[in-house]
Amino acid sequence: MEPFLWLLFSAGGVVSALLVPALLFLFGLALPLGWVTPDYTHLSAVLGHPATRVVLLGLCVLALFHWAHRFRYALYDGLQLKHLDRVINLLCYGGALAGSAAAGLLLLT
Amino acid sequence: MADRITLRVTRYRPESDTEPTAQEYDIPLRKEWVVLDGLNHIKDHLDGTLSYRWSCRMGVCGSCGMIVNGEPKLTCATFLKEYAPGPIRIEPLSNFPIVRDLVVDIGDFMRKLPRVKPWLIRSEQERPAKEEHLQLPAEREEYEQFSMCINCMLCYSACPVYALDQDFLGPAAIALAQRYNLDSRDQGSAERMDVLSSADGIWACTFVGECSAVCPKDVDPAGAIQRYKFTAAMDALKTLLLPRGAR
Ligand code: SF4
Ligand code: FES
């Protein structure tokens, strides 16, 4: 199981590092502060496109699994709670699964 | 520069001490002296009972590793003057049992090392070679970095995962396995995989990276582990997705 969780973790790290800063910059700074003025009808068409939604869902899912893996080890080693591994695994990966489902609902329906 | 400096050295004599204590020695501070020269000065002139390991004085034998002011260091490659005006704390390598004073027992590593089969493995069916196995410079470069390890144990001393879980195979043993896995003359990577990709192998590593930060030989064990995680994960994916014959 560990190899697959690690693959999700590292894929999540890579896509988050690449996409999240760009998205934050665009939608958190550049747009609200008026540095760029997009054509809003075009923008909403792009955001509404199924491909965009699938990409965003992929980003959410991978980022969540990245978090789950990191947080699991932060609890294991950082707080030395390794004996609670079952609860921790359930919390972390269960949380990532639940978050992925929520993201799927929001983005695909 | 002041001409003297104080070393606070850990002492532990198992026959009389219940736990390690610190003893201070005042020694000359010379700009060309490394910490090991300071210890040798103590041993020769101040206190012949101090025990510590060293041999080559030139960063080759890997036996003089100690904790200097809280950091794992080769004492033959660490200058006293960098720590002036002192005092300098000299402690035995952490994460290993102390035998005496600054001498630690690295038996745990010595037992783990052969488990990763750190030697060239050739297929059993192969007939004995009539000539040497040639290797291109580019092929040698693949593993050269990992072959620089001098087994100094600074990486084990720095590793927070090893500190918590002594079953962890550890940085140098995994880097040394990769030294052979990546050697074009070797055919043993499949034999090493079980030990390497077990829960106590690469998967115990959380990529803190302290091993690579302290390594005096730029071996980059953390990089070796990350690289092997990718190899092992791809192998697991293949096992899952491909039918037996196609693997
Ligand atoms: S990997 Fe570096 S720090 Fe670790 S034992 Fe080898 S030389 Fe020392
Ligand atoms: S004495 Fe040999 S490495 Fe320091």
As a whole number of angstroms, the distance between CA B117 and CA B102 comes to 30
B58, B13: one domain? yes
* Whether residue B157 has its Cβ less than 6 Å from ligand 1: no
B135, B94: one domain? no
Q: Are B180 and B186 in contact (CB under 8 A)?
A: yes
Region of poorest pLDDT, from A26-30, B59-63, B243-247: B243-247
The pLDDT, as a whole number, for residue B166 is 94
B34, B117: one domain? no
Assess whether pLDDT exceeds 80 at residue B2.
no
CATH code for position B190: 1.10.1060.10
> Which candidate in A73, A75, A81, A88 is best for mutational testing of the B interface (most B CBs within 10 A)?
A73
Q: How far away, in angstroms, is B75 Cα from ligand 2 center?
A: 7
B100, B40: one domain? yes
B55, B139: one domain? no
CB contact under 8 A, A3 and B203: yes
Chain B positions touching A77 (Cβ under 8 A) are 160-161, 164, 206
B172, B195: one domain? yes
Over range B53-78, report the average pLDDT. 97
Omega of the bond prior to B160 within 30 degrees of 0, cis? no
What percent of chain B clears pLDDT 90, i.e. is strictly above it?
A: 87
The pLDDT, as a whole number, for residue A34 is 85
**Which of the listed residues B104, B134, B167 is the one where a domain comes to its end?**
B104
Q: Each residue of A76-90: pLDDT tens digit?
A: 988 888 899 899 999
Q: Each residue of A8-47: pLDDT tens digit?
A: 999 999 999 999 999 999 989 988 888 888 888 888 888 8
Over range B144-148, report the average pLDDT. 96
The pLDDT, as a whole number, for residue B247 is 58
Q: Each residue of B109-122: pLDDT tens digit?
A: 999 999 999 999 99
Assess whether pLDDT exceeds 90 at residue B133.
no
Chain B positions touching A3 (Cβ under 8 A) are 197, 203, 229, 232-233, 235-237
pLDDT confidence tier of residue B203, bands split at 50, 70 and 90: very high
Partner residue facing A77 (CB), from B206, B229, B235: B206
Assess whether pLDDT exceeds 80 at residue B224.
yes
The pLDDT, as a whole number, for residue B245 is 67
Identify residue B52 by its one-letter amino acid code: Y
B20, B50: one domain? yes
pLDDT confidence tier of residue B126, bands split at 50, 70 and 90: confident
Domain limits of chain A? 2-108
**Which of the listed residues B74, B104, B134 is the one where a domain comes to its end?**
B104
Average pLDDT, chain B: 94
**Which of the listed residues B104, B125, B141 is the one where a domain comes to its end?**
B104
Burial of B232 (0-12, 13-18, 19+ CB in 10 A): buried
CA-to-CA dists, residue B109 to B106, B127, B169, angstroms: 6, 34, 8
Range of the domain at B236: 107-246
Q: Are B42 and B50 in contact (CB under 8 A)?
A: yes
For A38, which DSSP code? -
For A78, which DSSP code? I
B61, B95: one domain? yes
B31, B91: one domain? yes
> Which candidate in A1, A5, A6, A76 is best for mutational testing of the B interface (most B CBs within 10 A)?
A6
B188, B216: one domain? yes
CATH code for position B23: 3.10.20.30
B82, B119: one domain? no
The pLDDT, as a whole number, for residue B191 is 93
Assess whether pLDDT exceeds 70 at residue B199.
yes
CA-to-CA dists, residue A87 to A59, A65, A75, angstroms: 26, 16, 11
pTM of the predicted protein model: 0.89
Assess whether pLDDT exceeds 70 at residue B246.
no
Partner residue facing B232 (CB), from A3, A10, A73: A3
CATH class, range A2-108: mainly alpha
The residue whose C-alpha atom lies closest to atom 1 belonging to ligand 1 is B172
Full DSSP string of B123-151: -TTSPPPSS-----HHHHHHHHGGGG---
B8, B99: one domain? yes
Assess whether pLDDT exceeds 70 at residue B1.
no
Q: How far away, in angstroms, is B72 Cα from ligand 1 center?
A: 11
The pLDDT, as a whole number, for residue A43 is 86
Q: Provide the number of structural domains found in chain B.
A: 2
The pLDDT, as a whole number, for residue B179 is 97
